[in-house]
């Protein structure tokens, strides 16, 4: 049986979650609402027994600097290290890759679907990748319960890929996964957002109605979300909310039969932290 | 096709990236513990190493975060210099809003989630 995508998740990757996690603060009143929301998600994911997580994230100047900043980049390594983003290296085990699966995805995406990704033999992973991993999977001392393929999207230096392009990349990714000969169960994590702005006078801007509408439509009408321009997202949800285009890669990778399982929203400080999950049978 | 300015907002495009290239390059270098130590030991020498202009050095010395953003600093790179100088995201944010840290926290839904 060829590989298939069994689930997709859209979720925020706020760095303070990683700090709270490392300091054992996830059960404090400030973090418990978020922490509790992920308990059934981890149980559900464990039941799905995924082999690989394709994690769509953006690098925040941990590995890519502006001398060379790829629009789309994909990992093709056997393992990935943990980055020092400027605040020290988090005490997490390295992440196992699946180089053969990555190679297949690269060949399929580049040859058949004409997505000319930057291919990385070495990547050090940072909060954009690791916070979702912490929320979705429990790691042991030596590693994580899934292998991973990091898929990096430029959402910090305009011009960014369009929302539509991200949605199409997801659709291509679905075909690429399903043409892999090995019987892998794959989950796709689309990370980032939701509403937030981290600079300027408008620092701290959030828009819960926008976020709730986005959560509605990522389920019911993703094609409409793919029409959003960066300008519209930034005006309505803050400049840094453009990360949400990465959720469209995840959504594009799901079949029309995918059904929503979990949904949660929590906005304590400066970012609307959203969560939505889909099962694809 | 281009982006239209938004009030109170910096849009980090290629023009900003070109303008802030030295600043961002210096901040990017702070992803190494040895470089962070070197910055703390001799900030002036560290800034010289990255050929910062007189105006850019002034922004760093005065911890003028709004000024850094105007000069083309990317917010995620600014977090690194914030960290090495003891300024959290929320402290930098309060300064950019022109508020005290306490006044800023009072505007949040749950200010303990830091």
B87 — pLDDT class (breaks 50, 70, 90): very high
Q: Among residues A196, A230, A262, A264, which one is catalytic?
A: A196
Q: State which H helix or E strand residue A147 sits in.
A: strand A147-153
A274 with A194: CB under 8 angstroms? yes
Quote the CA–CA distance of A240 and A262 in Å, as a whole number: 24
User: Across-strand partners of A119?
Assistant: A74
Asked whether the whole model's pTM tops 0.95, one would answer yes
Alpha carbon distance B13, B107 (integer Å): 29
Give whole-number Cα distances, A120 to A33, A70, B16, in Å: 36, 10, 27
Judging by DSSP bridges, how do beta strands A118-120 and A72-75 pair with one another? parallel
Q: What's residue A99's pLDDT?
A: 98
CA distance B75 to A200: 10
Q: What pLDDT shows up at residue A207?
A: 98
Chains A and B: how many Cβ contacts under 8 Å? 133
pLDDT tens track for A202-259: 999 999 999 999 999 999 999 999 999 999 999 999 999 999 999 999 999 999 999 9
What is the Cα–Cα distance from A243 to B89, expressed in whole angstroms? 18
Contact A16, B113 (CB under 8 A): yes
Which tens digit of pLDDT belongs to each residue from A127-178?
A: 999 999 999 999 999 899 999 999 999 999 999 999 999 999 999 999 999 9
95-114 in chain B: CB under 8 A from chain A: 96-98, 104, 107-114
pLDDT level of residue B1 (50, 70, 90 thresholds): low
Q: What is the mean pLDDT of residues A75-80?
A: 98
- The predicted model gives A14-34 an average pLDDT of 96
ipTM of predicted complex: 0.97
pLDDT digits (tens, 9 = 90+) for A83-133: 999 999 999 999 999 999 999 999 999 999 999 999 999 999 999 999 999
Is the CB of B9 less than 8 angstroms away from the CB of A16?
A: no
């Amino acid at each position: 049986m060829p590989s298939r995508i069994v689930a997709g998740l859209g979720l925020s990757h706020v760095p303070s979650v990683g700090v709270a996690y490392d300091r054992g603060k996830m059960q404090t009143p400030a973090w418990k609402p978020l922490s509790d929301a992920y308990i059934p998600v981890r149980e559900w994911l464990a039941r799905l027994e995924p082999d690989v997580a394709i994690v769509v994230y953006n690098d925040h100047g941990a590995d890519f600097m502006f001398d060379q900043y790829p629009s789309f980049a994909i990992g093709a390594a056997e393992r990935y290290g943990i980055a020092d983003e400027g605040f020290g290296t988090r005490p997490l085990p390295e992440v196992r890759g699946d180089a053969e699966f990555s190679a297949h995805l690269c060949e399929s995406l580049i040859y058949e679907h004409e997505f000319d990704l930057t291919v990385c033999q070495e990547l050090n992973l940072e909060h954009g990748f690791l916070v979702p991993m912490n929320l979705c999977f429990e790691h042991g001392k030596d590693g994580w319960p899934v292998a991973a393929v990091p898929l990096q999207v430029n959402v910090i230096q305009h011009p960014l890929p369009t929302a539509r392009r991200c949605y199409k990349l997801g659709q291509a990714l679905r075909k690429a996964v399903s043409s892999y000969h090995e019987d892998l169960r794959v989950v796709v994590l689309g990370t980032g957002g939701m509403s937030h702005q981290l600079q300027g006078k408008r620092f701290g801007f959030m828009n819960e109605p926008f976020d709730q509408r986005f959560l509605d439509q990522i389920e019911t009408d993703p094609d409409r979300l793919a029409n959003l321009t960066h300008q519209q997202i930034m005006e309505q949800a803050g400049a840094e909310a453009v990360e949400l285009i990465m959720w469209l890669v995840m959504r594009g990778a799901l079949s029309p039969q995918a059904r929503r399982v979990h949904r949660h929203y929590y906005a304590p400080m400066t970012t609307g932290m959203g969560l939505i999950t889909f099962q694809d049978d | 096709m281009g982006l239209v300015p938004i009030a109170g907002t910096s849009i980090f495009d290629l023009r900003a990236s070109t303008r802030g290239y030295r600043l961002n390059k210096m901040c990017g270098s702070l992803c190494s513990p040895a470089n962070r130590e070197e910055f703390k030991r001799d900030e002036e020498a560290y800034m010289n190493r990255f050929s910062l202009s007189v105006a850019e050095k002034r922004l760093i010395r005065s911890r003028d975060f709004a000024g850094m953003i105007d000069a083309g600093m990317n917010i995620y790179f600014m977090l690194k210099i914030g960290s090495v100088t003891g300024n959290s995201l929320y402290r930098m944010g309060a300064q950019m809003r022109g508020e005290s840290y306490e006044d800023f926290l009072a505007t949040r839904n749950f200010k303990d989630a830091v």
